[in-house]
């Protein structure tokens, strides 16, 4: 498979992402505002407690700061990209081209995440520094490997969901379902170890904590090497599930695809 076409796709979509600079920066401003509101609430809670279930104020604040970055990077926004193509019948224009569909979408996916990784991470860390929050990051090879596996999990999760557009007229309700699951099972509302056992146990058997909670704990250096290897193995299993699910649904969907503008 030639790499050059997908490099060009990556560059063109990166340029597109950076074209509307005001929207780009304003979206990050909204995320930072949400982070500050969240930290304000927790600062009130910690005003009467030095520790809450082994969390200090600094650890809790850094958890939410890192979580904000991780959740945005792993958000599978591409799970809605196929719907307009299928509904308008314009998917045919891609099908007849000599390109690999997965690689094409992956190039676009990477392009959409690079500005977040560089710009938003810098803004978030600067914000935490200005309010007096110190960060200790664990950047070990196994942590990097786990985060990379989670990135592929996010990609194939979104890809698997996206092909449901062959059967669903509207995909927008799935956005709310995903956001709700990430909020509860991904550790966005609160770290999973602060939630009731039945929620944290249920979350363990879903893909969502591997797109949020466990990544944050790994970056904070709160996971042992054995735990990281174990979570890497589970992430690989979920990737395999979604890869097989996507390819099965893709082949079934193409059989019913009529290229008709709906």
Give the pLDDT confidence score for residue 261 in this predicted structure: 60
Tokens of 141: 């090879």
How far is Cα 96 from Cα 179, in angstroms, rounded to an integer?
A: 34
State how far the Cα of 78 lies from the Cα of 90, in Å rounded to an integer.
17
User: What's the CA angle centered on 90, arms 158 and 103, to 5 degrees?
Assistant: 40
- Helix, strand or coil, per DSSP, at residue 56: strand
| Coil, strand or helix at 191 | coil
Q: What's the pLDDT at 141?
A: 92
Q: Is the pTM of this model over 0.85?
A: yes
d(CA 243, CA 156): 6
Nearest to 124 by CA among 38, 54, 197, 207: 38
Q: What is the pLDDT of residue 51?
A: 86
Q: What pLDDT score does 14 carry?
A: 79
**How far is 67 from 198, CA to CA, in rounded Å?**
22
Please report the pLDDT score of residue 92 as a whole number: 82
Q: Are 110 and 10 in contact (CB under 8 A)?
A: yes
Instruction: For the chain, 262 residues long, give each residue's pLDDT as a single digit of tens.
Output: 677 778 888 888 878 777 776 777 778 888 889 999 999 999 988 888 888 888 889 999 999 999 999 999 999 988 888 888 888 878 888 888 888 888 889 999 998 888 888 888 888 889 889 988 888 888 899 999 999 999 999 999 999 999 998 888 788 888 889 989 998 999 999 999 998 888 888 898 899 999 999 999 999 999 999 999 999 999 999 999 999 999 999 999 888 887 666 5
**Cα 136–215–200 angle (5° rounding)?**
115
Question: CB count, 10 Å around CB of 111?
Answer: 19
202: phi then psi, degrees, rounded to nearest 5:
-65, -40
Task: Considering only the C-alpha atoms of the chain, give the largest distance between any 2 of them, rounded to a whole number of Å.
Answer: 64
| pLDDT attached to residue 260 | 63
């Amino acid at each position: 498979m030639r790499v050059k076409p997908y490099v060009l796709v990556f560059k063109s979509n990166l340029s597109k992402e950076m074209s509307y600079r005001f929207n780009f920066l304003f979206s990050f401003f909204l995320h930072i505002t949400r982070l500050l509101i969240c930290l304000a609430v927790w600062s009130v809670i910690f005003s009467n407690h030095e520790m809450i279930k082994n969390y200090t104020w600094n650890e809790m604040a850094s958890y939410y700061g890192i979580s904000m970055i991780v959740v945005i990077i792993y958000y599978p926004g591409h799970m809605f990209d196929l719907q307009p193509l299928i509904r308008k019948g314009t998917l045919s224009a891609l099908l007849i081209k000599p390109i690999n569909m997965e690689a094409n979408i992956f190039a676009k996916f990477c392009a959409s995440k690079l500005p977040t990784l560089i710009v938003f991470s810098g803004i978030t860390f600067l914000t935490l520094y200005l309010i007096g929050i110190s960060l200790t990051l664990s950047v070990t090879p196994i942590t990097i490997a786990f985060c990379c596996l989670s990135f592929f999990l996010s990609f194939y999760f979104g890809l698997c969901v996206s092909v449901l557009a062959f059967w669903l007229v509207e995909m927008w309700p799935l956005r709310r379902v995903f956001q709700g699951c990430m909020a509860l099972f991904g550790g966005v509302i609160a770290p999973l170890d602060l939630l009731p056992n039945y929620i944290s146990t249920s979350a363990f058997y879903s893909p969502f904590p591997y797109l949020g909670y466990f990544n944050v704990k790994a970056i904070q250096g709160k996971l042992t090497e054995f735990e990281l290897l174990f979570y890497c193995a589970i992430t690989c299993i979920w990737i395999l599930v979604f890869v097989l699910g996507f390819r099965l649904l893709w082949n079934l969907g193409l059989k019913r695809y009529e290229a008709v503008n709906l």
